Structure 1
Amino acid sequence: MIEPTATVSVARWRDADGVYACYLNVGGRCVLIADEPRRLVDEHFQSIVPADSNPALARMTHAQLLPDGGAAMAYARAEPGEKNVLVLDCSGAFQTSFAAGDGINQFLLDGQGRFWAGYFDEGVFSGDPIPSNGLARFSQDGRLEFGLAEHLGSAGPDVDDCYALTLDRQDRAWICAYSNFFLGYVDGQSFHQVMVKAPVQGARGLLVGERHVALIGGYKQTGLATVIELAGLTHRHIQLVTETGASLEVRRVSCWADMAVCWSAQGVYRFGLNDLVQIG
């Protein structure tokens, strides 16, 4: 077990009742997937897409907001060739769809309207050439633009399971992946490795700023935050706690740039990289 050297109390945003998932979007906007019935709602829990507007909503596991008020949603599991990313307008009407492959663990939309998908192991080892990349980028019309494994070839590092994925403010995709837990980012058609091995294994969230990055979570320590200074690659471990002082037990976390939202039985919490960096 890693021993944190400091604690940070994070702000409780709302209760977790009726929340299936929360996802940050470009600019820090949050979209939630509500359950029973499953539907997209905004930060005030008002419906973005009506629950009865499209039967595909019942299978939705990931969602992102579009600049025009519509939404893109994805299913984690899919049959070979099944179109599991759907783009809807603000009324819930179908616009387009494409096959992103089975095993979507992370699903993001960048500021240029491109889709990013990180895959868990069932997709990576499915034999489908799209998720076998571990990390893939798609154009607005669903065309595969970049696959990490195909780009790296035998040089590695391998992505057996995309544990943590985020976008920075320059639309670069940062990744920390099982099984080596390397840290790096994709910029255009190039991959840059920052660390061969991150100082924590099993992190599920990744915040990125100009001088620091932070990994959220770790094996058996879901409320751990590991802050890394990019200049010297030094790090320190911080325990995230609730307003009552209890250790935060993170069920899932979503990040965009230097912002994070996480949810658990304790509630839904939002915090930023600065909250972690400023701790003395």
Structure 2
Amino acid sequence: MDLALLRTFVTVHRAGSFTRAAALLGLSQPAVTSQIRTLERQLGRPLFLRQARGVTPTTIGDELAHKAAPHLDALVEIAETGLDEDSSLRTLHLAGPPEFTAERALPALTALTGHDGQGFALRASFGTAEETLEGLAAGHHDLALSTARPRGALLTATPLCDEEHVLVAAPRWATHIGPGKLRRKGAPVLENLPVVEVHESLPFVTRYWAAVFDSVPAASGTVVVPDLRAVLSCTAAGAGLAVLPRYLCTSALERGDIVSLLDPAVPPLRTYFLVVRTGTLAMPHVARAHEWLLRAGGAWD
């Protein structure tokens, strides 16, 4: 059986689409379709059911993928190891949200860059969870950091760390509210206060209100800026209250630039996932970065 046909088959099985598999393989969609039909003729059985959107594997298709994929991944590992020995520095392409990637992932990964025989060059790009996962699926990135767990077999996600969210404001707003009032009376105390957020939909504030107050926020955004670091700066300048990841605002809290308005018994958390295309951990530079980030993430909780 032709290994090239099996590679195309496994890619389609993981991608769930001839079109997406073609992009990952660097082939045209008709070429992928032709290869799958050739393999189906050789086996005498259909491997996929064609649907309006993508394809679904048959029972035979699932069985073949289960048997073939580990061996194909092992061959990729052998080939990639050989390339690492004989070629120039490999490049790792990382994608994720700007703040978390810049503040946590990139500083951790810089220890692996360089020409020590196991290092790699590093390229990073920022985007939303949807943009990042789509780019990873299309082959534009090697690793992705995402707060959304992807579905399907094409992408494999591993929990990386939990991010605690804190309700904060400049000290003058805490004085305005008064000590203990928020804990006694709840969210209504905050209704008339200005809000600093990353989007008009108030994603951080809404998530916090739902988890802590079991309600929805009544206010709208006074300052909306699509970067949590800018939200922190505006909050420290007195623009209003905000909900921020603790890792991002710890220093500002310690300096007294901002204060925590509430200390709930169970603080809201958001999980980050480290995501790869299934099978690409056979590539040494991807596997090393993946392992390194998981190790670093254990200290980020």
TM-score of the two chains, using structure 1 as the length reference: 0.27
Q: Please say which structure displays the higher CA radius of gyration.
A: 2
Q: Which has the higher strand share?
A: 1
Q: Which has the higher helix share?
A: 2
Instruction: Kindly indicate whether structure 1 or structure 2 has the higher relative contact order, using CA contacts under 8 Å at least 6 residues apart.
Output: 2
